Amino acid sequence: MKYRVRIGDRMHDVVLEGDTAVIDGETLRVHLAEVPGSPIRMVTVGDAVHRVVARREAGRGTWRLSVDGWTVTAEALDERQRAILERQRASGPQGPAPLVAPMPGLVVRIHVAVGDAVVAGQGLVAMEAMKMENELKAAGAGTVRAILVEPGQAVEKGTVLVELA
Amino acid sequence: MFSRLLVANRGEIALRIIRACRELGVRSVAVYSEADARSPHVREADEAVCIGPPPSKDSYLLGDRLIEVARATGAEAVHPGYGFLSERAWFARAVRDAGLVWVGPPAEAIEAMGSKTAARQLAIGAGVPVVPGTTDGLRDAAEAAGIAERFGYPVLLKAAAGGGGKGMRVVRQPGELAAALAAARREAQNAFGDDSVYVEKYIEGPRHVEIQVLFDHHGTGLAIGERECSVQRRHQKMIEEAPSVAVSPELRRRMGETAVAAGRAAGYANAGTCEFLLDRDGRFYFLEMNTRIQVEHPVTECVTGLDLVQWQLRIAAGERLPFADGTVFEPRGWAIECRITAEDPANGFLPSTGRITHLHLPAGPGVRWDGGIEAGGEVTLFYDPMLAKLVVHAPTRPLAIARMHRALSELVIEGVETSREFHLRVMEHPDFRAGDISIQWLEQRLPELAAPPVPVRVEQLAAVAAALLAQRDRTAPAQRAGADASPAAGRAAPRDAAADAWRLAGRREGLRSS
């Protein structure tokens, strides 16, 4: 079975056949074993054993993996699933991700207004949590479509604060 | 020794104090807020009393309530830990007035060191070097030149109303002074509406080096070595070590004598720390004195063999330090501490909350874990994001760095984002390995340390792992999905959806693309 695994901006092709894997053209023996009662997996590649901590994320085939002291988010889909997803993404409305509260806290200030053009990395909202003020930044460029909170409002983790178009 | 002691704190430091009590045969009384009812410090203490709702101001900061609990439980002494009320002179005084023993310096000493300006005056009076500077605004370039000549170049021009680097100029040569002063004045006027400018000596690439001191109530005062805490972010220490690469035995002796002199001037007793800036030429300048046990005390314990918290209790109980005045403690080996915080380095160190779903602690030779967390515990926004301190001790600095790297690699904390990988990157960094750091180092290197590019080899391995996990889902999706979902992982699925993570993932996907 061929999987197309997206990590960040890069795509890796992994072909699994029995206990061998072909990754980006290289053939290796691989094995996955679970450590019962824990999120820890043992992944054997050739003779090397790696401890992988795996957590399922929202999104089909998406995992957050801690591997050898690094954490990555990987989206592993087989060719058919990948093709479907890409068609969906192409036909679905495009737009930058909304700004979401990464933790529960208090909205202190909002730096933008509806209709403002913003650039990636621009601070949109200041939030206070754990006695510290944090600047929440736009992940990508866009235009502010809606502001869904106001200063002084307490919000839960995951609350959509600002929608971009 | 006391028979019973109240621990007026929470988390790892409460546990640290409780452990010292147990080893000394002292019964410990823990206090806790409603948010901490199931915390390790509550369970490990001999007695525990709930003191109020989760916010600190309604629980751990209620001095009167703490004293009331101490009296009601028959505690003879109060240990404040760090943070909360540990450096509040009024609380130290209230404890004393209630007929209880305060495990710390006298209220008067806390007061004397409490404000930076008062501490600076005290230090100057005791002959302790401080960063030379003026306290009145400069009249003109000629006056500035005279003062700069006295301090020696480089000097720093600083707006009186200052902040955020505005109105600041580093001047390296006399020829640059007049123009720099004019520019600083202009900037200060524009930014603050006030053009007064001070001058102080500019400390080039300074390190943060602090001296641990111990004073008993019988006149003995000892400096027991330095800690280097130059790896800082926004003035928050992240990594500490003992000894410091920048301190020779001779400098250690001089800094130690200076720290003891500062302590004596304040009428100090018990454990304390004098913080200094150390410049590249080995000149040091007093910053402030911390009148409590420090977060980073374990590294000193490792290299001196002294149990500082036990000595705090012994000193408070009236024991004598069994060392002569002026005893010099040569460090044995090298110790490093990493503060493991619930913060996400890849995301501007945003605090992270949630339930700790899995915890695997490092072990083996030379590894110490001072933590206040456990699996199943909740990390909330009520208190400090520091979860634990990972400390290692080894014969040399390179071995200590290797040991810390190994220990960090073993550590697994699932459920909240942590600073673990950030610390791994620091341990791998050539500057840190060479000991070539200053207090500005971390801020300058933050991008490459907090969110560095993932090595290709790791990415390929992750791709194989993800494909293998997808393969496993395909063979038994229903039961795998349930087994692998981590319900309370914070950002992941709500608990009730755990049994059907596939459907949930599908719904999320639908949500995301609409």
Nearest CA among B367, B296, B335 for reference residue B12? B296
The pLDDT of B232-246, averaged and rounded, is 94
Separation of alpha carbons B266 and B120, rounded Å: 11
Task: Name the catalytic one among B120, B252, B292, B403.
Answer: B292
Mean pLDDT, chain B, as a whole number?
Answer: 90
Interhelix angle for B501-512 vs B477-484, to 10°?
Answer: 80
ipTM: 0.80
**A56·B486 Cβ contact <8 A:** yes
Residues A41 and A121 in one domain: no
Burial of B221 (0-12, 13-18, 19+ CB in 10 A): buried
**Residue in B236, B464, B471, B512 to test binding to A, most A beta-carbons within 10 Å:** B464
Q: How confident is the model at residue B495, as a pLDDT?
A: 40
Nearest CA among B331, B345, B310, B343 for reference residue B241? B331
**A38·B358 Cβ contact <8 A:** yes
The pLDDT of B148-161, averaged and rounded, is 87
In a domain, B44, yes or no: yes
Q: Which of B87-91, B170-174, B222-226, B251-255 has the lowest mean pLDDT?
A: B170-174
Surface of B (96-125) touching A: CB under 8 A: none
Is residue B387 a contact partner of residue B379, using CB atoms and an 8 Å limit? yes
Residues B266 and B311 in one domain: yes
Q: How confident is the model at residue B497, as a pLDDT?
A: 35
Give the count of alpha carbons within 13 A of B424, CB side only: 21
Partner residue facing B381 (CB), from A30, A56, A129: A129
Residues A81 and A18 in one domain: yes
Comparing B139 with B405, the larger pLDDT belongs to B405
Helix (H) or strand (E) holding B498: none
Number of separate domains in chain B: 5
Residues A86 and A23 in one domain: yes
Separation of alpha carbons B89 and B80, rounded Å: 12
Give percent of chain B with pLDDT exceeding 70: 92
Interhelix angle for B141-151 vs B177-192, to 10°?
Answer: 110
Q: How confident is the model at residue B27, as a pLDDT?
A: 98
The pLDDT of B270-285, averaged and rounded, is 96
Residues A87 and A6 in one domain: yes
Residues A83 and A104 in one domain: no
Mean pLDDT, chain A, as a whole number?
Answer: 89
pLDDT of B157 higher than 70: yes
Q: Which of A46-50, A66-70, A141-145, B501-505 has the lowest mean pLDDT?
A: B501-505
Q: How confident is the model at residue A130, as a pLDDT?
A: 67
Comparing B439 with B168, the larger pLDDT belongs to B439
Domain assignment of residue A24, given as a range:
2-91
Q: How confident is the model at residue A93, as a pLDDT?
A: 61
Q: Using pLDDT thresholds of 50, 70 and 90, give the confidence band for residue A105.
A: confident
pLDDT of B501 higher than 60: no
In a domain, B488, yes or no: yes
In a domain, B21, yes or no: yes
Q: Using pLDDT thresholds of 50, 70 and 90, give the confidence band for residue A92.
A: low
Q: How confident is the model at residue B481, as a pLDDT?
A: 47
Separation of alpha carbons B239 and B260, rounded Å: 25
Residues B155 and B86 in one domain: no
Q: What b/e sequence results for B440-469 when a residue is b if at least 16 CB atoms lie within 10 Å of its CB, and e otherwise?
A: ebbeebeeebbbbebeeebbbbbbbbbbbb
Q: Using pLDDT thresholds of 50, 70 and 90, give the confidence band for residue B279.
A: very high
Cross-strand bridge partners of residue B368:
B391
Residues B120 and B257 in one domain: yes
Q: Which of B22-31, B77-86, B149-158, B405-414 has the lowest mean pLDDT?
A: B149-158
Kindly state whether A100 is in contact with chain B, defined as any CB-CB distance less than 8 angstroms.
no
Residues A103 and A87 in one domain: no
Q: Using pLDDT thresholds of 50, 70 and 90, give the confidence band for residue A131.
A: low
Residue B5 is which amino acid?
A: L
Sheet of B367-371, strands arranged across: B284-290, B270-278, B207-215, B221-233, B236-242, B334-341, B386-394, B367-371
Number of separate domains in chain A: 2
Residues B231 and B124 in one domain: yes
pLDDT of B484 higher than 50: no
Residue identified by tokens 């200590």 is B400
In a domain, B439, yes or no: no
Residues B234 and B255 in one domain: yes
Residues A43 and A84 in one domain: yes
B447 vs A contacts (CB less than 8 Å): none
**B470·A77 Cβ contact <8 A:** yes
Separation of alpha carbons B8 and B177, rounded Å: 52
Neighbours of B179 (CB within 10 A): 12
B414 vs A contacts (CB less than 8 Å): 39, 53, 55
In a domain, B436, yes or no: no
Is-catalytic flag, B491? Answer: no
pLDDT of A160 higher than 70: yes
Radius of gyration of chain B from Cα atoms?
Answer: 26
Q: How far is CA B228 from CA B22, B174, B240, B259, B312, in A?
A: 30, 33, 6, 15, 22
Is residue B147 a contact partner of residue B199, using CB atoms and an 8 Å limit? yes
What CATH number is associated with residue B356? 3.30.470.20
**A55·B424 Cβ contact <8 A:** no
Q: Which of helix, strand or coil describes residue B419? A: coil
Q: How confident is the model at residue B50, as a pLDDT?
A: 98
Q: Using pLDDT thresholds of 50, 70 and 90, give the confidence band for residue B161.
A: confident
Is residue A53 a contact partner of residue B360, using CB atoms and an 8 Å limit? no
With vertex at residue B44, the alpha carbon angle to CA B41 and CA B45, rounded to the nearest 5 degrees, is 85
Separation of alpha carbons B348 and B387, rounded Å: 18
Comparing B314 with B236, the larger pLDDT belongs to B314
Q: How far is CA B206 from CA A20, B276, B437, B438, in A?
A: 54, 9, 9, 5
Task: Render B334-348 in DSSP notation, one character per residue.
Answer: EEEEEEEESEEGGGT
Is residue B207 a contact partner of residue B277, using CB atoms and an 8 Å limit? yes
Domain boundary among B305, B332, B359: B332
Helices (H), B411-500: 420-428, 430-433, 441-450, 456-475, 477-484
Residue B243 is which amino acid?
A: P
Q: How confident is the model at residue B491, as a pLDDT?
A: 41
Kindly state whether A43 is in contact with chain B, defined as any CB-CB distance less than 8 angstroms.
yes
Cross-strand bridge partners of residue B258:
none
Q: Using pLDDT thresholds of 50, 70 and 90, give the confidence band for residue B492.
A: very low
Residues B30 and B120 in one domain: no
- pLDDT for B315-346, tens place per residue? 999 999 999 998 989 999 999 999 999 999 98
Q: How confident is the model at residue B447, as a pLDDT?
A: 87
Residues B116 and B234 in one domain: yes
In a domain, B223, yes or no: yes
Residue A47 to chain B, least CA–CA distance (Å) = 13
Q: How confident is the model at residue B162, as a pLDDT?
A: 66
Q: How confident is the model at residue B506, as a pLDDT?
A: 40
Q: How confident is the model at residue A58, as a pLDDT?
A: 86
In a domain, B452, yes or no: no
Kindly state whether A22 is in contact with chain B, defined as any CB-CB distance less than 8 angstroms.
no
Residues B118 and B215 in one domain: yes
- Main-chain dihedrals φ then ψ at residue B345, nearest 5 degrees: -60, -35
Residues B196 and B230 in one domain: no
Comparing B63 with A59, the larger pLDDT belongs to B63
Cis-peptide, bond into residue B365, ω within 30° of zero: no
Residue B238 is which amino acid?
A: M
Separation of alpha carbons B161 and B193, rounded Å: 9
Residues B217 and B324 in one domain: yes
Domain assignment of residue B109, given as a range:
104-131+204-332
- pLDDT for B186-219, tens place per residue? 888 887 888 888 888 889 889 999 999 999 999 9
